[in-house]
A and B are shown apart, each in its own frame.
Chain A
Amino acid sequence: KQEVTQIPAALSVPEGENLVLNCSFTDSAIYNLQWFRQDPGKGLTSLLLIQSSQREQTSGRLNASLDKSSGRSTLYIAASQPGDSATYLCAVRGGANNLFFGTGTRLTVIP
């Protein structure tokens, strides 16, 4: 069964810093990997989707990379802002229908 791990579990940085969130998965047979943001008590907002054939995706200050062979992905956030404070989840899609989620990294950006 696919297992997804995110490190660190929590991260606190001062505003303006660049930061990296890590995601690792045990089974490299994936269709794609998706990064989500979840605000407290809210649903999930999709940030970036990387197909298995791609190496990275960018959207604004966000850049996600995928190394399928080593089972790793990173989410890079440039020039962090207080509004970036949230929990960030990565999820991988393997066979069938399931998205396997990591336990998330809770990010706090301090003004």
Chain B
Amino acid sequence: SAVISQKPSRDICQRGTSLTIQCQVDSQVTMMFWYRQQPGQSLTLIATANQGSEATYESGFVIDKFPISRPNLTFSTLTVSNMSPEDSSIYLCSAPTSGLTDTQYFGPGTRLTVL
């Protein structure tokens, strides 16, 4: 199994500012994923982050708004830039421990509120 931690657990931010969310996995993983869960909704994939390459973004998400770093096999960051109230969501990072056929584990999430 994998243990995934995220910081911060929650934050309240002003419109127009940026927030960087950190994700730490207790083992080396090839792929890490960032998801968004808007209030009352299910999870939507933002991007896939592989170490040593640019993140791959899903339709509707762009690098300028959600820049991602993946400096090593255990860590990733997601920045939510120039925030608006519509960005208020739970942001979760996730990783399968050994490939796409394996169980995918999730961090506890970062609850973001934008005023």
By a beta-carbon cutoff of 8 Å, the part of chain A in contact with chain B is 31-32, 34, 36, 41-46, 49, 51, 89, 91, 93, 97-99, 101-104
Q: Is the CB of A98 within 8 A of B103?
A: no
6 A–B contacts, CB within 8 A, in A order: A34-B104, A43-B107, A97-B33, A97-B45, A103-B42, A104-B42
Given contacts A98-B45, A103-B41, contact A41 B92 (CB under 8 A): no
Instruction: Kindly list 12 other residue pairs between chains A and B, CB separation below 8 angstroms, not including A43-B6, A99-B94, A103-B42.
Output: A32-B101, A34-B104, A41-B111, A43-B92, A44-B94, A49-B102, A51-B101, A89-B43, A97-B31, A97-B33, A97-B100, A98-B45
Neighbouring B residues of A102 by C-beta, 8 Å = 42
Give which listed residue, B44, B58, B102, B109, contacts A43 with CB less than 8 A. B109
Bound complex: CA of A104 vs CA of B37, how far in Å? 12
Contacts of A41 in B (CB 8 A): 90, 109, 111
| Cross-interface CB contact of A34 among B44, B92, B103, B111, cutoff 8 Å | B103
